[in-house]
Amino acid sequence: MCTDMPDHDKVIAVYSRKSRFTGKGESIGNQVELCREYIRSHYGEGADQDAEVYEDEGFSGGNLNRPGFKAMMKAARERRFRAIIVYRLDRISRNISDFSGLIEELSRLDIAFVSIREQFDTGTPMGRAMMYIASVFSQLERETIAERIRDNMHELAKTGRWLGGVTPTGYASESVKSVTVEGKARKTCRLKLIPEEAEVVRCVYRLFMETNSLTLTEAELMRRQVVTKNGRYFTRFSIKAILENPVYLIADPDAYGYFADREAELFSGSREFDGEHGILAYNRTRQEKGRATVYLPVKEWIVAVGQHPGLIPGRDWVEVQKKLQENKSKSFRRPRSNEALLTGILYCGCGSRMYPKVSGRRTKDGRQAFAYVCKMKEHSRRSICNGRNVNGNQLDQAVLECVGRLEGDPAVFAGRMGQTRKAYVSSRAQNEEYEGQAIAMRQKKAEAERKINALVDSLAEVGNSSARMHITGRIEQLHAEAESIGKRLQKLEEKAFGSVLNSQELDGIKQFLPVFGKCLEKADAVRKREAVRRIVRKVVWDGENAHVALLGEERRGEM
């Protein structure tokens, strides 16, 4: 609910944003300090001390989907501000539509918008007009950068080279050295076939064409003990990724017709579709920080014949795409009314998660009857796990009773908490060391990405000179370095954030336990589930008994 406040009670908001951390230049801290100086000189001494600061570091200005910005606008709609100050116009947005909508909304809320660098103040008509003009040039700059990147994709597509990234199953990335006409060494990458992995890919396609089902394909691969290159069982999602990837498509007349009919940008003529090599498709996805990956339609792809051998004939690959499209409406949907309390923390004895499967029956007290089913059992069609299902209503009640009994045994529970606290204290120093290493890696990765962006921009200036080959080679090298750092960073972050509870969480549980039973008397399923997760870490069903793990120890509950 919005309530009007007297102007003298309203404060000034400061907003700052930077796409990535650099520690220099127009950093978050520098932007905030410049805004505070502006507030002191225009709104009086002391006004800057009351200012509310909102920050977004590591977020693009291409959209408004940023946590700090959203929090600021929520407060603005509550009419808490008399003005919003930014250091520069593009700190808010580079998109004209987003920006104009923001200015109109702030105008309705009677909140001034000030940009220090451009000296714009929407408190005046001329300021509003000039701000709209500046936002046009801001978006023009963004679109120009996007065009340069796409032009670079066009040039690279002509070569049919592998540009790096996650190497698809069936291939390995190998370095190829060559000598240019100027006598200079040149290094590029291409995909090299791995025969045993290639046979796995062919098997995936054959099974899907036979079953017309991702689930049945997954089950059959499990039954045959076929695993990914990482030694894990295939899932429906990894299978679908293989089936949709054009890298496996043999460049034959059927493949050419498929892309030509869908108006993809083809950088190889029909004669180059020789029935031997595979396809490389650029610009297949759009990725933005804070948003899910968007898969673009085929008409936006940049397609070229690669230097690697293809695996799947065009006719079969096209037929698979048709089947996948038809099957979209058959995808699994989770039941809307889920009363299960142990979803996400219940495991089968085989190690796989168990999920609730609702029946059409009702219990004696009128609740919906359901069972917990092993995910591995369902997906493998009992070929890997054939454990018993468990009555979900009874198991939920047994776990609640098990935890409820702890209320009368606070000393034992406090002892367990003490053991967990020791584990937390001993691991904290190591976590701090991990985090320090992670910060250094993030800085190295950001520096590599900065150099890549600078080199991409320079491609538009060098034309088709020999320097272009050196620049593209350097881009590939930096891309490989950034990918390597990213993988090491991911592993390091996994170590830094273990499952041990911290002191605040332990103290919260200690205070919560005595009122656990009272909280559940009139609570709905969602509240009960939240309450259970504050006490229970994991439940394992072995087919006969349920083992409830509480803060690192197990407590057996007979069913």
CATH of the domain at 13: 3.40.50.1390
Asked whether residue 214 falls in the same domain as residue 359, the answer is: no
* Residue that terminates a domain, selected from 262, 296, 330: 330
Asked whether residue 211 falls in the same domain as residue 309, the answer is: yes
Asked whether residue 252 falls in the same domain as residue 362, the answer is: no
* Residue that terminates a domain, selected from 464, 496, 528: 496
Q: What is the pLDDT of residue 253?
A: 95
Cβ atoms of 529 and 523 closer than 8 Å:
no
Q: What is the pLDDT of residue 518?
A: 60
Q: Is residue 275 a part of any domain in this protein?
A: yes
Q: Is residue 448 a part of any domain in this protein?
A: yes
DSSP β-bridge partners for residue 112 = 83
Backbone angles phi, psi at 371, to 5 degrees: -125, 155
In our burial notation (b when 16+ CB lie closer than 10 A, e otherwise), range 68-79 reads bbeebbebbeee
Q: Is residue 362 a part of any domain in this protein?
A: yes
Out of 41-55, 403-417, 494-508, the most confident range is: 41-55
Q: Rounded to an integer, what distance in angstroms lies between the CA atom of residue 415 and that of residue 265?
A: 66
Q: What is the pLDDT of residue 419?
A: 47
Asked whether residue 517 falls in the same domain as residue 483, the answer is: no
Asked whether residue 177 falls in the same domain as residue 268, the answer is: yes
Asked whether residue 197 falls in the same domain as residue 225, the answer is: yes
Q: Is residue 155 a part of any domain in this protein?
A: no
Contacts of 33 (CB under 8 A, 6+ apart): none
Mean pLDDT of 203-208: 96
Residue closest to 62 by CA, chosen among 38, 34, 91, 83: 91
Q: What is the pLDDT of residue 248?
A: 96
Backbone angles phi, psi at 175, to 5 degrees: -85, 140
- Containing structural domain, residue 281: 171-330
Asked whether residue 396 falls in the same domain as residue 539, the answer is: yes
Q: Rounded to an integer, what distance in angstroms lies between the CA atom of residue 372 and that of residue 369?
A: 11
3-class SS of residue 25: coil
pTM: 0.52
Q: Is residue 197 a part of any domain in this protein?
A: yes
Q: What is the CATH number of the domain that holds 238?
A: 3.90.1750.20
Asked whether residue 218 falls in the same domain as residue 284, the answer is: yes
Asked whether residue 462 falls in the same domain as residue 530, the answer is: no
Q: Rounded to an integer, what distance in angstroms lies between the CA atom of residue 529 and that of residue 510?
A: 18
Cβ atoms of 539 and 345 closer than 8 Å:
yes
* Residue that terminates a domain, selected from 266, 301, 330: 330
Residue closest to 312 by CA, chosen among 197, 201, 220: 201
Structure tokens at 349: 């004895």
pLDDT tens profile 74-115: 999 999 999 999 998 788 877 766 777 787 788 888 898 888
Asked whether residue 294 falls in the same domain as residue 210, the answer is: yes
Q: Detail the DSSP E strand segments found in 70-184.
A: 81-86, 112-115, 120-121, 171-179
Count structural domains, the chain: 4
> What is the DSSP secondary-structure string of 434-501?
HHHHHHHHHHHHHHHHHHHHHHHHHHHHHTTSTHHHHHHHHHHHHHHHHHHHHHHHHHHHHHHS-S--
Which amino acid does the sequence have at 411? A
Q: For tokens 């142990």, what's the residue?
A: 342
Q: Is residue 221 a part of any domain in this protein?
A: yes
Asked whether residue 210 falls in the same domain as residue 256, the answer is: yes
Asked whether residue 80 falls in the same domain as residue 142, the answer is: yes
Q: Is residue 421 a part of any domain in this protein?
A: no
pLDDT tens profile 363-375: 888 888 899 999 8
Cβ atoms of 282 and 156 closer than 8 Å:
yes
Q: Rounded to an integer, what distance in angstroms lies between the CA atom of residue 456 and that of residue 475?
A: 8
Q: Is residue 366 a part of any domain in this protein?
A: yes
